[in-house]
Chains A and B, each alone.
Chain A
Amino acid sequence: MRILHAIKTGALLAYTALVGAVLPGATGLAWAEAVKPVSSTALYSVWRVSGKELSAKTRKDFTVAVERCWNTAALSDEAVNVTMVIGLTIGPDRKPVADSLRLVEAKGGSEAAVQQAYEAARKAILLCGRRGFPLPAEKYEAWRELELVFAASGATQ
């Protein structure tokens, strides 16, 4: 049996180990993987979609700007089917405040699937928001706090 390590910030942490020797040329390999618990984030509720002061065109432009970075190719079928609401704050520079992103609600999948789906959605917001979203400065109070409903209905190739 060989010692295996979980490493974090350069320090060795606890780990588990298994030994496998089952096929020709595959003897003597040992491996381990630290198991990280997934936080409890699955919340269920009925949602309300509101439409306040932003024009339809602004909302559409914003939607397209986020969707083009919302990539579900690497997600499991279960994660793709998760529907979730992510809350965030957008700064006056029209860029998302990274620390403000939070999962408000989610339904339609296991905790692991929600976690995967959340990561993809969060990445979309941060990636496509890094140069600022197309939002009108004069309506900052309308878009400063947003809740984005991610509900994949028609993934495009």
Chain B
Amino acid sequence: MSRLRYLLSAALAAATLGAVTGAPLQAEPLRIELGTPVVEPMPFALPRFVDEGGAGDMAAEISGVIAADLAGTGLFEQIPQNAYIQNITSFDAAVSYPDWQAINAQALITGAVQGGGGQVAVKFCLHDVFANGTLGECLQFAGDKGSWRRVAHKVADAVYSRITGESGYFDSRVVFVSEAGPKNQRQKRLAVMDYDGANTSYLTDSASIVLAPRFSPSGDRILFTSYSSGFPQIYVMDVGSLSVRGLGEQPGTMTFAPRFSPDGQTVVFSLERGGNTDIYSLNINGGGLQQLTNSPAIETAPSFSPDGSQIVFESDRSGNQQIYVMSAGGGEARRVSGGAGRYGTPVWSPRGDYIAFTKQNAGRFHIGVMLVDGSEEKLLTASYIDEGPTWAPNGRVIMFARQEPGGDPMLYSVDVTGRNLKRIPTQGAASDPAWSPLLP
């Protein structure tokens, strides 16, 4: 009885409240909080692109490069093609989404290739399988047949960008130092390859030792250090013509560790004079030499912030190698590295959020990242020798050189989170990688 009285009272109170507020007493949806997502590769399906004429094996090869690009990030996982239920035989055929849902494909990429007249054209659609439709518009990329891998990378970049919300990095190249011969007679020459190790070509011969190549922001020039004059000097190469000219030649000095400013108009580098090494800047045309640091210490490895306002560099002014940041015009520098060990080869992320570096501590080398104020240091790798980080154009992946005891240096990449460490296949030993911008 008392329970009935309580319920009636409650109903009356509720009705009164409704009358006072004038609002209908509708139940609000129940809210439930979720806080623990999983982090695992997203399964995707990529049926072999349809040959719409003249493509031949290229249709399968393009499909393979796209799948390898996506799976190689560690963020995606390709569902084996023998698990597919629907057989895609026409680009325009309706997609049976339940068939792809059944195999847990969270993304589906369908496409077709045309290969007539020395050209290749690839059209593709990215499907949101659980929304029964395409994710964005279907697109087409085209180019010379000889550029089919670039076309494939473009497709993969578009897919990556749509799913992650970040720009891709597959259609990019890496310049590096290719090494050959015995260690006491090492031959080093500049080489350039696709980001995934394919399409290697050589930019210099092995007549003189070369070091530390760096792409210009537009990818059309490369700075590097060469011993062709008998001592280190910096040079700039036009990538299209392979023509080379010296930069900032000063009698009685050595210059090395060059890097472009974000606008491509200025070069920062180290200059050794009378046993002391400081950082200087120079107009790309060779004029306007300016000294940026003035210290009896060794100051080297300068790298601009993406907005061009600051330079990060390494110096042993405190007694051992540490990382410092100063204004792009020089002046007082602040130390940003603070942990145990020695820090070197800092490189500012193209996103501006992190500085990548090499760290040597307790007999091990590491590639790490820290926020630009030096906080939140994360070591991404550990090895006998890991050194020389370079950022992917989207700032999400770092490539570097690794050398095991008794072995040759090889190129590796790792995600900025520390996941997905993998070796980049090269023809022989390789060191000093530098990533190009995303190609136009």
Contact = CB atoms under 8 A, between A and B. Distances in A.
Given A34-B137, A148-B32, A116 B165 contact: yes
B439 interface: yes
B440 A22 contact: yes
Nearest to A115: B165
Contacts of B136: 34, 36
Interface string B151-175: 1001000100001111000000100
Contacts of B165: 75-76, 78-79, 112-113, 115-116
Contacts of A47: 31
Contact of A49 (B33, B39, B139): B33
A107 interface: no
A29 B143 contact: yes
Contact of B131 (A28, A52, A69, A122): A122
A57 interface: no
B163 A74 contact: yes
B38 A50 contact: no
Contact of A73 (B34, B40, B131, B143): B40
A23 interface: yes
A141 B29 CA distance: 10
A127 B97 CA distance: 13
Contact of B146 (A25, A62, A70, A119): A25
Best-buried of B131, B134, B166, B239 by chain A (most CB within 10 Å): B166
B429 interface: no
Contact of A71 (B32, B40, B134, B158): B40
Interface in A1-58: 2-8, 10, 13, 15, 18-34, 36, 47-54
Interface in B100-127: 101, 104, 106, 119, 123, 125
Interface in B15-46: 27-42
A153 B36 contact: yes
Contacts of B239: 22-24
Contact of B38 (A122, A151, A155): A155
Interface residues of B, number: 62
A73 B104 CA distance: 16
B142 A2 contact: yes
Interface string A81-96: 0000101000000000
Contacts of B240: 21-24
B249 interface: no
Contacts of B138: 6-8
Contact of A145 (B29, B128, B439): B29
A76 B164 contact: yes
A7 B439 contact: no
B243 to A, nearest CB: 13
B147 interface: yes
Interface of A: 2-8, 10, 13, 15, 18-34, 36, 47-54, 59, 62-63, 66-76, 78-80, 85, 87, 98, 112-113, 115-116, 119-120, 122-124, 126-127, 130, 141-143, 145-157
Given A4-B142, A145-B29, 14 more contacts: A6-B138, A8-B137, A24-B192, A48-B31, A71-B38, A71-B106, A74-B76, A123-B130, A126-B130, A127-B106, A127-B130, A141-B27, A149-B34, A156-B39
